[in-house]
Amino acid sequence: MAESNPSRFTVIIAGGSLVGLTTAVTLEKAGIDYVLLEKREITPHLGASVSIHPHTQRVMEQLGIWPEIKAGVVPLETRQHYDENGSLFEDSAILQEISKMFMLSCIYNQVADKSRIRAQTGVISFTETDDGIEVVTDKGETIKGDILLGADGIHSTIRNLMADKIASTDPIASKEMQSGFTSNYHCIFATSRNAKESAGGKPFLPDGAVHNVYYSGFSGVIAAGVPGLVFWFLFVKSDRATQTPNTPRFTEEETEATIAKYGDYAVGPGYTFKDLWESRVRANMLPLEEGVLKPKWNSGGRVALMGDAVHKATINPGLGGNLAVEGVVHLMNELVPLVRRCEADGGRNPTKSEITAALDAYEAKQRPHANTIVTMSGYVTRYEAMETWWLRLLRRMSPWVSDKTKAGGFVGYINEGPWLNFLPNPDEEQKLAEKQ
């Protein structure tokens, strides 16, 4: 039986991807005990990438993660848009202000005490009490702590366990927790070598560039954000809408059939989706779920959900990962001061009611932004696939709108981004340095 130190406040984190690992590093910086349980391996390479905007970069700087990220990426600076005929209709510089790529392993590398992170260990049940929480793992261990955070993704085990616990008292909320996300599109996420083998190794596109292509019912993006590699996406409108927990799990054969159907279409000048596929390093096809969980994000006690477990945005504008980090910041900005106040108050741990109040405050701050980002992302997905006649018209009008105007919406969103209030703010430090 494995137990945490009973004399110290301990956080149990379920899920070891972006949200879970960022939470772990933050807790470590705050000096708060935790244990992280990930049912798969840590930092797997599934072919996906994450886009970082400036407000998220600020948080990564606070946590000491940014130098490693910066050393391994190429800033994305140009974005070229192609129509279904292969014609360049817009050459944009908007990415010079709003986007960079990073790798999940950089966050994991910042964890000082990796013994607190347990791979291949999933949660099968939890029990709340007035004094704490007990989690039982699929290895038969019982882990004790003070709070459980479900950072385990769209198919969250913790969310399903919460739904089961309220099924008899609130069946409507229980059903909404299990079926609160809809998928209308699916996507191939892939990483490929930035070399067209049939053209003697010629790069698909220059480092720092992004190509978008628009077709009726499907679209594509390719980005050269890491030397020698490209990240690319093929977005396809699904035949029918599905809801969790019944969104599809695609096989390798289904992924290959999708390439067979769309592979000969061009992504940028001189190359196709099939060319990218043939140069792939990793690839995976997944449904693009979207939605914000309507029921309360916590159990009314010591359990709360984070990240994709409560809000899932389609990935076209690259906002979902940034939204997830915002949630970590909002929660930590409630939890860390609470723990420190209690430590100063005779060294006690927060009570159940104090924890619930902190979890409620986190949700109150995060939910409005989640609604905005999920709605905006879904709109961009439909715009890029030209789903309706007016979206097709809007796409043709897009080149006439300045980059400055387009960036304005993103800048407003970025300016609202939170930072960890218990760590130095690098923006403020830079301002002070410039005054001196």
Compare 253 and 86 and report the one with higher pLDDT: 253
- Alpha-helical runs (H) found in 150-265: 157-166, 171-179, 252-262
Ranking 227-231, 273-277, 356-360 by mean pLDDT, the lowest is 227-231
Are the CB atoms for 204 and 195 separated by under 8 Å? Answer: yes
Ranking 44-48, 102-106, 142-146 by mean pLDDT, the lowest is 44-48
Are the CB atoms for 256 and 103 separated by under 8 Å? Answer: no
Does residue 85 surpass a pLDDT of 90?
A: no
Q: What is the pLDDT of residue 403?
A: 53
Please give the average per-residue pLDDT across 314-333, as a whole number: 92
Please give the average per-residue pLDDT across 150-167, as a whole number: 97
Q: Can you say how many angstroms the Cα of residue 5 is from the centroid of all Cα atoms in its chain?
A: 31
Neighbour-count burial of 70, counting CB atoms closer than 10 A to its CB (0-12 exposed, 13-18 middle, 19+ buried): middle
Q: What is the mean pLDDT of the chain?
A: 87
Please give the average per-residue pLDDT across 11-26, as a whole number: 96
pLDDT band at 341 (very low <50, low <70, confident <90, very high): very high
Q: What is the pLDDT of residue 389?
A: 59
CA–CA separation, 268 and 276 (whole Å)? 11
pLDDT band at 82 (very low <50, low <70, confident <90, very high): confident
Are the CB atoms for 193 and 282 separated by under 8 Å? Answer: no
Does residue 43 surpass a pLDDT of 50?
A: yes
> What one-letter code names the amino acid at 364?
A
Residue 86 contacts by C-beta under 8 Å, 6 or more apart in sequence?
266, 269
Q: Taking the domains of the chain in order of start, what are their residue ranges? A: 10-435
Q: Which tokens hold the place of 48?
A: 């996906």
pLDDT band at 157 (very low <50, low <70, confident <90, very high): very high
DSSP letter at 290 equals E
Q: Which tokens hold the place of 156?
A: 């969250």
pLDDT band at 290 (very low <50, low <70, confident <90, very high): very high
Over the stretch 173-217, which tens digit does the pLDDT of each residue have? 999 999 999 999 999 999 999 998 777 789 999 998 999 898 989
Q: Can you say how many angstroms the Cα of residue 55 is from the centroid of all Cα atoms in its chain?
A: 14
pLDDT band at 1 (very low <50, low <70, confident <90, very high): very low
DSSP letter at 350 equals P
pLDDT band at 87 (very low <50, low <70, confident <90, very high): confident
Compare 99 and 296 and report the one with higher pLDDT: 296
Which secondary-structure segment (H or E) carries 267?
strand 266-268
Please give the average per-residue pLDDT across 227-243, as a whole number: 94
Compare 86 and 25 and report the one with higher pLDDT: 25
Q: What is the pLDDT of residue 94?
A: 42
Q: What is the pLDDT of residue 98?
A: 35
Q: What is the pLDDT of residue 101?
A: 41
Q: What is the pLDDT of residue 47?
A: 45
Compare 165 and 130 and report the one with higher pLDDT: 165
For the domain with range 10-435, which CATH number is right: 1.20.1740.10, 3.30.2270.10, 3.50.50.60, 1.10.1040.20?
Answer: 3.50.50.60
Does residue 37 surpass a pLDDT of 70?
A: yes
Which pairing describes strands 117-118 and 33-37: parallel, antiparallel, or unpaired? parallel
Task: DSSP for 26-57, please give it.
Answer: HHHHHT-EEEEE-SS-SS---S--EEE-HHHH
Q: What is the pLDDT of residue 426?
A: 80
Does residue 383 surpass a pLDDT of 50?
A: yes
Please give the average per-residue pLDDT across 109-117, as a whole number: 94
Neighbour-count burial of 280, counting CB atoms closer than 10 A to its CB (0-12 exposed, 13-18 middle, 19+ buried): middle
Q: What is the pLDDT of residue 28?
A: 97
Q: What are phi and psi of 185, to 5 degrees?
A: -130, 160
CB-hemisphere CA count at 13 Å for 100?
18
Q: What is the pLDDT of residue 10?
A: 98
Compare 331 and 102 and report the one with higher pLDDT: 331
Does residue 243 surpass a pLDDT of 50?
A: yes
Does residue 131 surpass a pLDDT of 60?
A: yes
Tell me the residue ranges of DSSP E strands in 169-249. 182-193, 209-215, 218-226, 229-243
pLDDT band at 3 (very low <50, low <70, confident <90, very high): very low
* Percent of the chain with pLDDT strictly greater than 70: 84
Q: What is the pLDDT of residue 99?
A: 37
Q: Which tokens hold the place of 395?
A: 């796409």
